[in-house]
A and B are shown apart, each in its own frame.
Chain A
Amino acid sequence: QSALTQPRSVSGSPGQSVTISCTGTSSDVGGYNYVSWYQQHPTKAPKVMIYDVSERPSGVPDRFSGSKSGNTASLTISGLQAEDEADYYCCSYTGSSVVFGGGTKLTVL
């Protein structure tokens, strides 16, 4: 199972919006509505920000939103804040396992 494809880095200024894409295949992203997104700060464990493509866990700000079209999922962060600077990983169910994207480093300028 090949890793999902994410941009290596994105950046934005405080208050702006950024979108991180995650491209897979019909065997993962395109085949299931089980895409999730994780935020990871340095030396910390990952934290789920979005699950089931667009659902937000309790406690996650509504500035974070998810969507999917075909084999590509997207995470949008609006109203960027300094604390959003982190690595972000997408993840998809594959039928018998899960597969992660390579990760995207978000820099808040």
Chain B
Amino acid sequence: EVQLVESGGGLVQPGGSLRLSCAASGFTLSRYRMHWVRQAPGKGLVWVSCIESDGSRTNYAESVKGRLTISRDTAKNTLYLQMSSLRAEDTAVYFCARDYLGLGVWGQGTTVTVSS
């Protein structure tokens, strides 16, 4: 079964760091462009970042450039989002998604809360 499972969310203070993971199963993550999408409480979906299938290029929303870094470990078949200099406005559920036939597979999300 094709599946994505996020982990690593939690409560962090402003200015702090966190690393989110997205474990893929049932497919090889490095054959697809992968995305991170977030959703603040009661708000809509917002694209955060993506990494090309060959890992050659990454892109970021302007609001997270320089603070969030997308990467992957092909051996572990896992996607990551390293988050630093976190702000209150980064509070959200973070989803990873596979880019095939639209964003055809999503994880269940992991919650990040930035608060003192």
Which candidate, B7-15, B19-27, B40-48, B73-81, is the interface stretch facing chain A? B40-48
Residues of A contacting B101 in the complex (Cβ-Cβ under 8 angstroms):
48, 51-52, 55, 57
Instruction: Verify if A99 is at the interface (C-beta below 8 Å from B).
Output: yes
Pairwise interchain contact B45-A36, C-beta atoms closer than 8 A: no
Residues of B contacting A24 in the complex (Cβ-Cβ under 8 angstroms):
none
Pairwise interchain contact B104-A48, C-beta atoms closer than 8 A: yes
Pairwise interchain contact B45-A46, C-beta atoms closer than 8 A: yes
Give the number of A-B contacts (CB < 8 Å): 62
Instruction: Verify if B108 is at the interface (C-beta below 8 Å from A).
Output: yes
Expressed in whole angstroms, the minimum distance between the Cβ of B27 and any Cβ of chain A is 15
Pairwise interchain contact A45-B104, C-beta atoms closer than 8 A: no
Chain B: interface size category: 20 to 34
Interface positions of A from 1 to 53, Cβ below 8 Å from B: 1, 3, 36, 38, 40, 45-48, 50-52
Pairwise interchain contact A38-B47, C-beta atoms closer than 8 A: no
Instruction: Verify if B102 is at the interface (C-beta below 8 Å from A).
Output: yes
Expressed in whole angstroms, the minimum distance between the Cβ of B7 and any Cβ of chain A is 15
Among B102, B103, B104, the one with the most A-chain Cβ atoms within 10 Å of its Cβ is B102
Residues of B contacting A40 in the complex (Cβ-Cβ under 8 angstroms):
45
Pairwise interchain contact A46-B104, C-beta atoms closer than 8 A: no
Residues of A contacting B62 in the complex (Cβ-Cβ under 8 angstroms):
1
Pairwise interchain contact B45-A100, C-beta atoms closer than 8 A: yes
Expressed in whole angstroms, the minimum distance between the Cβ of A9 and any Cβ of chain B is 13
When chains A and B are docked, how far (Å) is the Cα of A38 from the Cα of B105? Answer: 11
Instruction: Verify if B55 is at the interface (C-beta below 8 Å from A).
Output: no
Expressed in whole angstroms, the minimum distance between the Cβ of B2 and any Cβ of chain A is 12
Pairwise interchain contact B104-A51, C-beta atoms closer than 8 A: yes
Pairwise interchain contact B95-A36, C-beta atoms closer than 8 A: no
A to B CB contacts below 8 Å, 16 in the list: A1-B62, A3-B44, A3-B46, A40-B45, A46-B106, A48-B101, A48-B103, A51-B101, A52-B101, A55-B101, A57-B102, A89-B44, A91-B45, A91-B103, A98-B103, A101-B44
**B residues lining the A interface (CB < 8 Å):** 35, 37, 44-47, 50, 59, 61-62, 95, 97, 101-104, 106-109
